[in-house]
Amino acid sequence: MSSTAVAPPACLRRPLVVPRRFMFGPGPSNVPPRILEAGANPILGHMHPEIFEIMSDIKSGIQYLFQTKNSMTLALTGTGHTAMECAIFNAVEAGESVLTAVNGIWGERAADMAERIGARVNTIVAPPGGCFSLEEIEKALSKHRPVLFFLTHGESSTGVLHPLDGIGDLCHKYNCLFLVDSVASMGGAPLCMDKQGIDILYTGSQKVLNAPPGTAPISFSDRACQKIFNRKTKPVSFFLDLSWLANYWGCDGKPSRVYHHTGPISAFYSLRESLCILAEEVGDHNWSFVLARLPTVTTIVAPPGYDWKEITAYIMKTYNLEISGGLGPSVGLVLRVGLMGCNSSKANVDMVLTALKNALKHCHKSRV
């Protein structure tokens, strides 16, 4: 037998060492031991009946989380970007009109995805930190007549929580589907899918839910399903084709399930446990309260004269604590602090404030 051309890498002879760190950026967040332990359960086959039962539990948990009775509710294999593409790829065909609300990076990315599949994309644009009035949205819907309107509920690049009431009714008035990104807000801010007339809603596992990255809860209304399952062409992605995913998740009412892809079994365990914790902590309490800012990700104006990179690096080195700089339109302008799920405590707030205070004392300030 000939020798291998590439030798075994020396780095893989060393044991894996992962530091413990305070994850106070915009996500992922720290994962509680209970959820980590759930993910360490034995692997089962992705088509085993026990896994189908766990998937059914997850579906029920997402329906509770989203406050929806939609039967087409599931968790995608992938992060929030996967859900964004799944929603757009299934609901939109080439040549159709799409309207995206851009007040941060996620509206920009939704527009990019829709353009890639040949949609006619129009945008309404607000400055970073801004929101859209119902009048502005209706004017754009009336002008462009889109089949889909995209809006980010929690814009993590700018720290804005966008009001949703009334938008679903406007979309339906103009025969348009209402798509909402709630990756940064779901579980940390009130949102009721059915009552607010949202047709497609998705989030990510790694934010408030405190689960590892890799699964993305998503739900489709009957209106959305009617359009999706009566499209003239196949979705551009086989992996994200809702007809296949609906069968794998038991959402299509068929007696048997057909292999589509190998689901992330350990991630399913973790997601189920995170939904259990949420149900235990929230219970039947009313989620309704008024917020002016996104509660899960706080944006702080970068102190004039300081290099934000030096601040975040100092805090990481000194406190083993992650906070982030801006993203997209907020790059260089803000620092972003995320306190989500188990990280949301007064003690952690005090820790971040102490770290920031000391960073301003020790980091260099220019004289400009």
* One domain, residues 274 and 306: no
* One domain, residues 206 and 61: yes
Summarize the confidence of residues 134-140 as an average pLDDT: 98
d(CA 227, CA 232): 10
Could you read off the pLDDT of 155-211 as tens digits, one per residue?
999 999 999 999 999 999 999 999 999 999 999 999 999 999 999 999 999 999 999
Helix axes 105-116, 80-91, angle to 10 degrees: 40
Please check whether residue 192 lies inside any domain of the structure: yes
Task: Please state the separation of Cα 240 from the chain's center in Å.
Answer: 16
* One domain, residues 199 and 321: no
What DSSP designation does 297 have? E
* One domain, residues 302 and 313: yes
* One domain, residues 310 and 325: yes
Is residue 78 pLDDT above 80, yes or no? yes
Please check whether residue 87 lies inside any domain of the structure: yes
* One domain, residues 344 and 195: no
Could you read off the pLDDT of 230-249 as tens digits, one per residue?
999 999 999 999 999 999 99
Q: Are 158 and 327 in contact (CB under 8 A)?
A: no
* One domain, residues 26 and 37: no
Residue among 230, 275, 267 nearest 65 (CA) = 275
> According to the model, what pLDDT value does residue 129 have?
86
Annotated binding site for substrate: 336
pTM, whole model, 2 decimals? 0.94
The enclosing domain of 261 has a CATH number of: 3.40.640.10
Summarize the confidence of residues 105-115 as an average pLDDT: 97
CA atoms within 13 A on the CB side of 84: 21
Annotated binding site: 336
Q: Domain residues for 273?
A: 33-279
Helix axes 308-319, 346-362, angle to 10 degrees: 120
Summarize the confidence of residues 29-35 as an average pLDDT: 95
* One domain, residues 37 and 82: yes
Total domains present in the chain: 2
Summarize the confidence of residues 38-66 as an average pLDDT: 97
> According to the model, what pLDDT value does residue 310 have?
94
